[in-house]
Amino acid sequence: MKITKFEINHFRALEKFVLSIEEDLSVIIGKNNTGKTSLLSILDRFLSESKSSFEFHDFNKKYLARKFPFNQDKILSVEEYEPFYISLNIYIEYNETDYIGNLSKLFMSLDPKEKTVIIRFEYVMTYELYLSAAKDYAVYCSKAGKKKRTIREYVEKNHSKYFKQVIKSVNPADTNEYVEIKEKSDIQRIINFKYIKAIRDVSNLDEAKAKSQTLSKLAVKYCEARRQETLDESLIDDVLKESDVKLDKSYKKIFKDVITDIERFSYGKGEAKLSVKSMLRASTLIKENANVVYSKETEFLPEEYNGLGYMNLFAMIFYINIQIDEFRKITKSNQVPSDINLLYIEEPEAHTHPQMQYVFIKNIQAKLQEGRKGKEGEDEINLQMILSSHSSHIVSQSNFEKIKFFYRENDAIYSKNLSDLETEMMDSADNGENRFRFLKQYLTLERSELFFADKVVFVEGDTERILINAMMQKTDIDNKDIDGYVPLMSQNISVVEVGAYSHVFDEFISYLGIKALIITDIDSTKGKVASNGITYYEACKVSSGEATSNASLKHYFNNIPFDELKTLKKSEKTLTKNTEGKWVSDSNGMLRIAYQTMQNRYHARSFEDAFINCNYEFIKQHKNDFKGLKNRGKIKDGKVSYYDIAANCIDKKSAFATDILYFSNNDYSNWIIPEYIKEGLEWLAK
C-alpha cells in the first residue's frame, strides 16, 4: 500500500497542483518560493495531530478574487452557490497482499479491478456557513456605523467561524461521488504523517547553552521509547536506594535550620512535618543525566562545543529515529502502526557543508529501508519519505528517478518528474539513450545547480569560460545608465561549460523552462575531395565556408544552409520549441544562440579571431607580455589576417584568456566584447 499522488487546489501558489511521489523516497527540488514549504504546510494542516490551522491568506489570490462567494451583491441560492475551499486529494494504491481492514471503510467501488482510493480533505465554507456569515455581517453592519469593514475583511477576521475541515472518500471513477468521513481517527489509522522542519533547535552559542542541549534532549526522548526493552530499572533502583540513605543524612544536616524555621512559623500541634528526602529513580536519572558529549582523545566535551553543522546532522538523525519509533508505536503497545507512514524532511542541508550533505543523501536511502524493515522481531511497515532541498550537492547524489522539480510559471507552481525527461529523451530517435546518459552523468557530477538557476549560459570553449564573468561585468558597466537595466551579476545566472555538446541539453532546457543563452562558434568548413573520391570538410575562413561543423548550430537551426546561417538576424536567433518538438525562430523565445557575425567588415570563425578583430590594438600593445602567444612577429602594424593570427599565434587558449584578464584595467574599458556575445548577454539581462 502506498501514496502515489497529491492534488492540491487553491492553497497559496499551489493552484491545481499535482505531485506524484515514489513508494520509498521522493526528492523535491526547486528554487526559493516554488512551493516546497507550502506542500509541507498543507500536509501538516490536514494530516498531522498538531494544532496548525488555516489562515484566510492561505487561499490562492486569483481564486479568492474570482470565486469569493460574497463578490456578488445578492445572497446566493443553494443552487447558485459554489463551495469555497482549499483541498488536498491523496491517491492511495493497494494490492491483494495488503491488509485493507482500515482502508475498506473508504471503498467507493465494487469493481475488484479498482485498486485506488482517493481521500479528499477540504477547508471549506459550506452553504450553511455562507448563510451564517451573511447573517452575522448584517448584524455587524447595523452596529458598526460608518467605519465598518467590508464583507471580505469581516470574513477574513472571523474566518475560523465560517470554515470547517471536511474529509471525504471520493469515487475514482466519478470524482463528484463521495461519502463524508466523520472521524479523523479513521484516516490516522491509514496515514500517519510526521515531519522534520528545516529550523531545528540547534545552537552552539554560550548564551543559549540551556537551549542548545538539543541532542541531549533528543537522546532522552529516544531513550524513553526504547528503555523498557533495554534497561532493567529495578536493578538500578536497588543500587540507588543505598545512595538515598546516605543523601537523607546529608539533607537532614543541610536543611536543619530552614526546617526548624518552617516548623516555628507554620506548624500546629498534630500537623504533618516537612522533611527533605532523597528519591533517586532510574527514570529520573535517564531524563536528567543523558548528556550527549564528544570524545576528543581522553577528554569529553559537551555538545555545544561542536559546530552547528555536526549538531544539525546529529539532531536530524535523532529526529529520524524518534519519528520512526513513533510510526512503529514503540511506546504504545496497545496500538499498531498505521497502514502508510509518511515522513517529510525539510532542507536537511541547513547549516551543513557539502561533504555532510553528500554523506546524508547517500545514507538516507539505507536508513529508509532499515526503518521500513525494523529490528529483529519487529514487523515491516509501509514507510514513504519526502525530502525537500535546494542544495545542488544533495541533488548531485540523488537518483534521477526520485527527483521532483518544482517551478513557478505565471504565479502558479507546478511539478515535473525528472523521470519524464528520461522518457522523453529515450523515446527520441536522435540518439536519445546516449544523450540522456551524458546529461545524467554531467548533471550528477558537475552542474546540479542548474535546477536552482533563473537563467543559464552555456559556453563551449575554454576562452569563453574564463572570460564570461568579466564580459558579464563589462556588459553591466556599459549598460548601467539605461533605465530598467538589471545587472547580470545581480541575477541568479548559472554558467556551464559544455564543450561541443550544448545540443545534448535540448530537452533539459525545455524541461527547466528558464532563459538560456548558448555561446558557440560558427565553425565554417569547406569541402575537399580526397584521392579516393570521398568529400571531406576542413576548417576555413567564413568568407569561403560552405558548411558548419558545429553540431549545436545544425541541431538548433535544423541544418539550414550555411549562407542563411551566417546572415540570420538577431531576432531569428531567439528560439522556441514548437508543438512538433522543433526549435523555431520566435522573438519571445527563451533560448538564444550566439555565434560570430560580421563586425568591422570581418566575419570571425571562432571567439579568438573575433576578439582579435575588435581588439587588435590591445593585443598588439601587450603581445610581448601575453604568455599565451607565440609567433609574436606576425602581430604587427599594417594589414593582417585575424584568422591566421588566431590559428598560428595563440599557443594555448586558456592562457590567452588569462592574459586578457590580467592586462585588463579595473573597468575593462581597454577592450571590447565581440558583438555577438554582447548582443547575447544584453538579451539575457532582460
Q: Are residue 526 and residue 643 in the same domain, yes or no?
A: yes
Q: Are residue 168 and residue 234 in the same domain, yes or no?
A: no
Our separate counts of H helices and E strands in the chain read 25, 25
**Those residues with Cβ within 8 angstroms of residue 208's Cβ, 6 or more apart along the chain or in another chain:** none
Neighbour order of strands in the sheet with 164-171: 17-20, 2-9, 84-93, 116-125, 164-171, 174-181
Confirm whether 352 is domain-assigned: no
| Whole-number pLDDT of residue 267 | 45
Q: Are residue 512 and residue 632 in the same domain, yes or no?
A: yes
Lowest mean pLDDT among 254-258, 635-639, 664-668: 254-258
User: What is d(CA 519, CA 468) in angstroms, rounded to the nearest whole number?
Assistant: 10
pLDDT tens-digit readout, 32-86: 899 999 999 999 999 998 777 899 999 999 999 999 999 988 999 999 999 999 9
| Whole-number pLDDT of residue 365 | 86
Q: Residue 230 has which C-alpha cell?
A: 533495554
| Whole-number pLDDT of residue 211 | 42
State which amino acid sits at residue 249. K
pTM for the complete prediction? 0.82
CA angle centred on 591, ends 588 and 593, rounded to 5°: 115
**How large is the average pLDDT for residues 616-634?**
95
Confirm whether 77 is domain-assigned: yes
3-class DSSP assignment, residue 201: coil
Q: Determine which helix (DSSP H) or strand (DSSP E) holds 140, and give its type and residue range.
A: helix 127-144
Ordered DSSP codes for 256-294: HHHHHHHHHHH--TTPPPP-------HHHHHHHH---EE
Q: Are residue 506 and residue 573 in the same domain, yes or no?
A: yes
Q: Are residue 141 and residue 256 in the same domain, yes or no?
A: no
User: What is d(CA 660, CA 663) in angstroms, rounded to the nearest whole number?
Assistant: 6
User: What is d(CA 327, CA 217) in angstroms, rounded to the nearest whole number?
Assistant: 20
Residue 172 has pLDDT above 80, yes or no: yes
Number of domains in the chain: 3
**How large is the average pLDDT for residues 258-277?**
58
| Whole-number pLDDT of residue 330 | 80
User: What is d(CA 132, CA 274) in angstroms, rounded to the nearest whole number?
Assistant: 59
pLDDT band, residue 581 (cuts 50/70/90) = confident
**How large is the average pLDDT for residues 635-646?**
95
**Cα dihedral 344, 347, 352, 358 sign:** positive
pLDDT band, residue 427 (cuts 50/70/90) = confident
pLDDT band, residue 133 (cuts 50/70/90) = very high
Q: Are residue 142 and residue 274 in the same domain, yes or no?
A: no
Residue 282 has pLDDT above 70, yes or no: no
Q: Are residue 7 and residue 114 in the same domain, yes or no?
A: yes
Confirm whether 370 is domain-assigned: no
Q: Residue 635 has which C-alpha cell?
A: 602581430
**Cα dihedral 325, 328, 333, 334 sign:** positive
Lowest mean pLDDT among 250-259, 430-439, 523-532: 250-259
Average pLDDT, the chain: 87
**Those residues with Cβ within 8 angstroms of residue 511's Cβ, 6 or more apart along the chain or in another chain:** 405, 416, 421
Residue 213 has pLDDT above 70, yes or no: no
Domain limit, last residue, from 171, 186, 201: 186
Confirm whether 321 is domain-assigned: no
Q: Residue 447 has which C-alpha cell?
A: 552542474
| Whole-number pLDDT of residue 440 | 83
Confirm whether 357 is domain-assigned: no
User: What is d(CA 184, CA 122) in angstroms, rounded to the nearest whole number?
Assistant: 13
| Whole-number pLDDT of residue 65 | 95
pLDDT band, residue 387 (cuts 50/70/90) = very high
| Whole-number pLDDT of residue 464 | 94
Residue 87 · residue 122 · CB < 8 Å: yes
Q: Are residue 466 and residue 615 in the same domain, yes or no?
A: yes
pLDDT band, residue 261 (cuts 50/70/90) = low
Q: Are residue 486 and residue 627 in the same domain, yes or no?
A: yes
Q: Quick one: what percent of the chain has pLDDT higher than 90? A: 63
Q: Which domain holds residue 242?
A: 214-291
Residue 224 has pLDDT above 80, yes or no: no
Q: Which residue has the higher pLDDT, 314 or 383?
A: 383
pLDDT band, residue 425 (cuts 50/70/90) = confident
Residue 600 has pLDDT above 60, yes or no: yes
**How large is the average pLDDT for residues 168-175?**
94
Lowest mean pLDDT among 106-110, 155-159, 385-389, 570-574: 106-110
Domain limit, last residue, from 249, 276, 291: 291
| Whole-number pLDDT of residue 225 | 61
CA angle centred on 80, ends 76 and 83, rounded to 5°: 90
Q: Are residue 476 and residue 527 in the same domain, yes or no?
A: yes
Domain limit, last residue, from 264, 291, 318: 291
Residue 207 has pLDDT above 50, yes or no: no
Confirm whether 304 is domain-assigned: no
Confirm whether 486 is domain-assigned: yes
Query: Across 200-359, where does the E strand assignment appear?
Result: 293-296, 299-302, 340-346
Lowest mean pLDDT among 207-221, 228-242, 521-535: 207-221
Q: Are residue 13 and residue 112 in the same domain, yes or no?
A: yes
Confirm whether 430 is domain-assigned: no
Ordered DSSP codes for 436-452: HHHHHHHHHHT-GGGGG
Q: Are residue 179 and residue 242 in the same domain, yes or no?
A: no
**How large is the average pLDDT for residues 659-679?**
96
